[in-house]
Amino acid sequence: MIKGFSKLSAKQKVQELTAAYGLSSDFNKTITQHIHPDLQEKYNQFSENTISNFYMPFGVAPSFVINNKEYAIPMVIEESSVVAAASKAAKFWSSRGGFRTKVISSKKAGQLFFKTDIAYEELILHKSEIEDFLINSVKDITASMEKRGGGILGMNLLKENTDDNNLFCLLVDFETKDSMGANFINSCLEAMGEALKEFVSTHFNSGDDTSTQIIMAILSNYTPECLVECTVECSIDELAPYAGSYSAADFALRFKNAVDIANTNTHRAVTHNKGIMNGIDAVVLATGNDFRAIEAGVHAYAAQNGKYLGLTEITLDKNNFKYTLRVPLAVGTVGGLTKLHPMAKNALELLQSPNAHELMQIMAAAGMANNFSAIAALVTSGIQKGHMKMHLSNILEEFACNAQEKEEAENHFNSNTISHSAVKSFIAKIRS
């Protein structure tokens, strides 16, 4: 076991790891290659025990028209074909009205869990007094947010369904404007916990606050009321470029069948929604937002009715195709890494410095674009044809192919099925 690891320099950390786990010389070489010559001190501040950086491709999907405004969307993702699929769908929809988006609501929540021997019915009688007292107790924390139009929206007192009859939850609603708001919400909740003890002590226990225990105070990443909607719509005839060997009408029906399956079949719904998150997560990462929180909130929303289902709905009406995505996205354009990380800062500049509501809509459009392309491929040529074509370059890189070998392989696989084993055999053949 390595002792005092956190106190070592980055170079010493690598030396200790190499000695302890018998790491190769290539390990140290690669670690060194990925250290930024100018900005490493900044990157070191973003996490702990940093020894290098893990680079991800920073791609751009152009031609997005969202609410009649054109965007080039930055996407950070390692999966082949995601940026290409988004770009293709963006170009297709740009001449068909683009992506129509709207923020339905932007409410976020936090929870203050506490135990007290005061009966729930008695607490409820004093709910408005408790609310006023707690809001007043954090006015110094909320003052700046309130100036920007945010703050505490209200709260509900709930009895927890556990074996402990004295366990309660104060569910507090917040508006955090352009900030994701985690630190703001958590600071408010922790201060409100102390104020709650004081209130119970003063109003119920004649100065004794020992009967009230604060269990925990924390924001919730379940944000079903921080919701954005994205819709694309056109005549069914206009879908012909995506229809492959099918008629536009048949393609629309097949597309609808795929969406309907995702809205009844959980196995399919998870993969359906993963395709949406390909686009959303890529923008979340590019802009320095918290993709783990986004993922958790989105998937909880997908299962809000007790069964995990798809996040999109479709309507075919006469000759009209209408496809809608509704998804919770709690994001920010200030705070966190959004302005600290140089590439996140660039991403937001590329997006023309959006506010949080605009960023929610941009992310939803990216998710819709990737989902649309994925479903279109699935119900026509299949997902692997386009995906493996994009993946070919990765396989060729794995085999350290030179320029001539890459050219021969690309020509060969233009008309042959791509698989890892097929590429391996082809490269072995031309090298022999």
Q: Mention every residue, 6+ apart, whose C-beta is less than 8 A from residue 149.
A: 175, 177
Taking the C-alpha atoms of residue 164 and residue 186, their distance in angstroms, rounded to an integer, is 25
Asked if 274 is an active-site residue, the reply is yes
Q: Which helix (H) or strand (E) holds 348?
A: helix 342-350
Residue 389 and residue 418 in contact, taking contact as beta carbons nearer than 8 Å:
yes
Residue 343 and residue 286 in contact, taking contact as beta carbons nearer than 8 Å:
yes
Please list the residues that pair with 325 across neighbouring strands: 230, 312
3-state secondary structure of 410: helix
Asked if 164 is an active-site residue, the reply is no
Q: How far is CA 344 from CA 250, 282, 289, in A?
A: 42, 12, 9
Closest CA to 342 of 48, 74, 30, 69: 74
Taking the C-alpha atoms of residue 269 and residue 298, their distance in angstroms, rounded to an integer, is 12
Work out whether strand 151-159 and strand 108-116 pair parallel, antiparallel, or are unpaired.
unpaired
DSSP 107: -
Asked if 290 is an active-site residue, the reply is yes
Please give the torsion angle defined by the CA atoms of residues 293, 295, 296 and 302, in that order, rounded to the nearest 10 degrees. Answer: 140
Q: Which of 281, 290, 358, 391 is catalytic?
A: 290
Taking the C-alpha atoms of residue 251 and residue 314, their distance in angstroms, rounded to an integer, is 13
Q: Which of 79, 160, 225, 405 is catalytic?
A: 79
Please list the residues that pair with 219 across neighbouring strands: 110
Taking the C-alpha atoms of residue 183 and residue 287, their distance in angstroms, rounded to an integer, is 18
Asked if 36 is an active-site residue, the reply is no
Residue 335 and residue 180 in contact, taking contact as beta carbons nearer than 8 Å:
yes
Closest CA to 370 of 71, 77, 103, 97: 77
How many CB atoms sit inside 10 A of residue 213's CB? 14
Return the active site residues: 79, 274, 290, 387
